[in-house]
Structure 1
Amino acid sequence: MGPHDLVERVMLMGHAAAPLPCRLVAAAYRDEQEASDKVNRLGAGVDACLFASPVPYDLARRSGVLTMPATYVQLGGAALIAALARAALDERIDPRRVSVDVLSRADVEEAYADLGLPAGEVHSRDEPGATGTITAFHERLVRQGLSTGALTCLPAVADRLQAAGVPTIRIRPTSAAIRTALHTATLLGAHHRLEESQLTVILVEVPTLREPVRRAAPRHWRDELRLSLHRLLVQEANRINAAVTPVDDHSYMVTATRGSVATATEGFRVLPFAARVREELGLAVEVGVGMGRTAHDAEAHARAAMARTQAGKQAQGFAVDREGRALVPAPRMPPQGGGQLKPKGVEVLARLAAKLEGGDTVVDAESAGKMLGVTPRTARRLLRTLVDEGLAWPLPPNRTPQPGRPRQLYRLIVEKLGGH
């Protein structure tokens, strides 16, 4: 990824310089500011990015579009010395009094020391900036007589300076630097491909299904719930080319690759499947993600991550890598919609909890209305409020052969009354 002339050089020497079989994708631009857009367009189609210089690399990194390994062609060392040699052949330029951009001061001083030249009157600027800003840096020094010419790493800056009549030498990477960078990028891409294809297991458990059946609760709703959850997980798994297997009455195993799971979790920041399960089925799920060299290792790490989740240590991560370490960054739980518990919802839940019999926490609008002394219509509205505030879960409708609307059941989360 770089200016057209450099991209052409890389493509011509590419496969001969690469240590492994690979496919090169040319992404030429007219200005370094286009780098982020180029990365976005390539997306998941590449395993690694090789940039023409530190400038487009930094622009892409700071914009947050780099989701794959990346490196850049070094322009210090031999490339700078070659530019100084060309400058010495230009009668207008004194290599001891020039301005240099992009490269660090340490790189500049090292090159001058290797040549036995003083660098005291050499002006350098390694801060990023727009093309116009960097052009003005060089031009001002020449106009003030502090510099005899400009050494620039940026083609667009070189074009502007030459148009303004400023003696300019463009710092171009050497063939050896390109070969080294291409070698590094190829190895990074191969490692990334292996990492992305790493076996990953996701365990999903449903606390509601894990609890013992209440005598007053309809028994068949648990079967409906399992079927609904299985169907939803299969749909989600199909999006990431994964497979779903029921483990027992209350848990499922999803087998995928690290790359597909990373995409579905925003880089392991969001619990997989949790938001959709909550929105469509009104259920909370516990999730553990594990990676490993074998299916057995990946499942063992997923169970370790699940144990951490159930122990309330979610800030440490819900995913464990193949070395058994929790992945960083820590996950961001899907929004709960209501943030802090609202007093009204807590009050309604407390009143219902006080009237529950036999420990059963499943109600419908009719039974809730009798407990609260309101009409079923008002009770239905109050139950929906509890759902919005995370104080109740809507269960699959209780289908009966009787005509009319099927009963909508809700499980009250009375555990949330503990701190109120």
Structure 2
Amino acid sequence: MLMGPGSTGPLNARLIAAAYRDEQEATDKVVRLGSSIDAYLFASPVPYEFARKAGVLTMPATYVPLGGASLHEALLRGTLDGRYDPTRASLDVLSRTDVVEAYSEVDLPVDEIHVHEELGSTTALTSFHEGLWRRNVTSTAVTCVRGVAERLEAIGVPTLRLRPTSAGVRSALQTAGLLGAHHRLEEAQLGVVIVDVPTLRDAARRATPRYWRDELRLALQRMLLQEAHRINATAHPIDDHTFMVTATRGSLASATEGFRQPPFIERIRSELGVAIEVGIGMGRTTQDAEAHARSALNRAQATRQSFAVDREGRSLVPAQRAPARQGSDQLRTKGRETLLRLAEKISEEDAPLVVDAEAAGRMLGVTPRTARRLLRTLVEEGLAWPLPPNRTLQPGRPRQLYRLIVEKLDKAGS
């Protein structure tokens, strides 16, 4: 059984049944249901452990316990039925501590009790019980796994299978309901992403043409709006070099692989050739979330270790920095050398960072045609940004301007 979203029942929830023949199939069921589930409720600790060890539990999960009352019920059945001797038994999956405690509560000795605590395959657990029984070490097998019970009964081993009690099922349902409700509240938390664009900030200081900054700002806003729409969020500019994206924690977690990868960075870098920095913050209000997002942004800029904090200001999952592209400096030396030569000339002449083919050709000592090809190479490598052509009343092709992203030279040298 699994707990899912809905609007019926006293817990204001809907139960989605996922049947399986073998406990190991529970892992596939979890994968198929995916994120449509708010909390998982397993019929016993066995399928829960299989799913947990497989690493497929991305939502809160619990199970119906088989120790305590369930074990007491099995011991009572065994004691009343002359075919079983619970004092000479082998048990699986449960911890020895729980077994000893349950036996002690009903005054049964534990000297001849054997416990296999680790969850194993059906074959391994069957072999454990069968081996002890054939050596006459035990006379009864107590198992939590249906497949094991069926195999043992087929070869004649007296077997007691642990079954959930009604009280255990009710308690587990309540626990699953609370887990699902808490998860819903967590997912609905307000989240804010602050997107800072160092290129725009530095361009303003260097008196880069305003039309170029406006063009880049519009392109960034258009792309952020597309990304925000994809995760049911909103986006708007805050100032000349900063944007804000407002969403829920759930949508941000989905867009960041559980806060493991910062959002938007790769697409903006690949399509616009611009590096951005982000900070994510949670909060009960927009103001709180924005404050935490700015704190996360400052932390990311200073330490490069974390880009997201919760509503108490604590780090969520540390950012996993994308691995450096192998041999990027060696593969792109031509573009970087061109940019470095242009940057040196611009520094000497105190010229703007915006050039056309003629200006670049003069600085590099090549023809405008060659310079135009070199500038296109810079664009392909993300080292320059093509600007809208100048509109002029004169005949002929308008000049194509390029903004050189010399900031990448600083990052390459650091």
Q: Same fold (TM over 0.5)?
A: yes
- Taking the aligned partners of 2:366 and 2:388, their CA distance within structure 1 comes to 22
> For structure 1, which segment, 90-99 or 224-233, has the greater mean C-alpha deviation from structure 2 after superposition?
90-99
Structure 1 counterpart of 2:406, which letter? L
Q: Which deviations, in whole Å up to 9, do the C-alpha atoms of 1:15-61 show, x marking residues without a partner?
A: 88x6x321111111111211221111111211111112222222222
Match of 1:355? 345
Does the alignment pair 1:114 with 2:105? yes
Does the alignment pair 1:403 with 2:397? yes
- Output the aligned Cα RMSD: 2.8
Following TM superposition, by how much is the alpha carbon of 1:370 offset from its aligned partner in structure 2, in angstroms?
A: 4.5
Does the alignment pair 1:323 with 2:312? yes
Q: Which deviations, in whole Å up to 9, do the C-alpha atoms of 1:84-126 show, x marking residues without a partner?
A: 1112233332111111111011111111111211112111112
Structure 2 counterpart of 1:330, which letter? P
Match of 1:146? 137
- Taking the aligned partners of 2:247 and 2:189, their CA distance within structure 1 comes to 9
Contact 1:210 1:249 in 2 (8 A): yes
**Partner secondary structure for residue 65 of structure 1:** coil
Unaligned runs of 5+ in 1: 2-6
Following TM superposition, by how much is the alpha carbon of 1:373 offset from its aligned partner in structure 2, in angstroms?
A: 4.2
In the TM superposition, what are the counterparts of 1:19-418 in structure 2 within 5 Å? 20-213=11-204, 217-310=208-301, 312-315=302-305, 317-327=306-316, 329-338=317-326, 341-342=329-330, 344=333, 347-356=337-346, 357-358=349-350, 360-363=352-355, 367-373=359-365, 392-401=382-391, 402-403=396-397, 406-413=400-407, 414-416=409-411, 418=413
Match of 1:4? none
Contact 2:282 2:311 in 1 (8 A): yes
Following TM superposition, by how much is the alpha carbon of 1:351 offset from its aligned partner in structure 2, in angstroms?
A: 3.2
Following TM superposition, by how much is the alpha carbon of 1:213 offset from its aligned partner in structure 2, in angstroms?
A: 4.0
Structure 2 counterpart of 1:344, which letter? T
- Taking the aligned partners of 1:293 and 1:157, their CA distance within structure 2 comes to 50
**Partner secondary structure for residue 190 of structure 1:** helix
Q: TM-score, normalising length from structure 1? A: 0.87
Distance 1:115 1:215, change over 3 A: closer
> For structure 1, which segment, 218-227 or 187-196, has the greater mean C-alpha deviation from structure 2 after superposition?
218-227
Contact 1:92 1:148 in 2 (8 A): no
Following TM superposition, by how much is the alpha carbon of 1:382 offset from its aligned partner in structure 2, in angstroms?
A: 6.0
Following TM superposition, by how much is the alpha carbon of 1:326 offset from its aligned partner in structure 2, in angstroms?
A: 1.8
Distance 1:388 1:341, change over 3 A: farther
- Taking the aligned partners of 2:380 and 2:63, their CA distance within structure 1 comes to 50
Following TM superposition, by how much is the alpha carbon of 1:350 offset from its aligned partner in structure 2, in angstroms?
A: 3.7
Following TM superposition, by how much is the alpha carbon of 1:253 offset from its aligned partner in structure 2, in angstroms?
A: 0.9
Contact 1:243 1:256 in 2 (8 A): yes
**Partner secondary structure for residue 237 of structure 2:** strand
Contact 1:364 1:410 in 2 (8 A): no
Distance 1:325 1:339, change over 3 A: farther
**Partner secondary structure for residue 145 of structure 1:** coil
Distance 1:350 1:394, change over 3 A: closer
Distance 1:388 1:39, change over 3 A: farther
- Taking the aligned partners of 2:403 and 2:203, their CA distance within structure 1 comes to 17
Q: TM-score, normalising length from structure 2? A: 0.88
Distance 1:382 1:84, change over 3 A: farther
Unaligned runs of 5+ in 2: none
Following TM superposition, by how much is the alpha carbon of 1:250 offset from its aligned partner in structure 2, in angstroms?
A: 1.3
Following TM superposition, by how much is the alpha carbon of 1:354 offset from its aligned partner in structure 2, in angstroms?
A: 2.2
**Partner secondary structure for residue 14 of structure 2:** coil
- Taking the aligned partners of 1:173 and 1:380, their CA distance within structure 2 comes to 76
Structure 1 counterpart of 2:27, which letter? S
Distance 1:403 1:171, change over 3 A: same
**Partner secondary structure for residue 126 of structure 2:** helix
- Taking the aligned partners of 1:65 and 1:128, their CA distance within structure 2 comes to 17
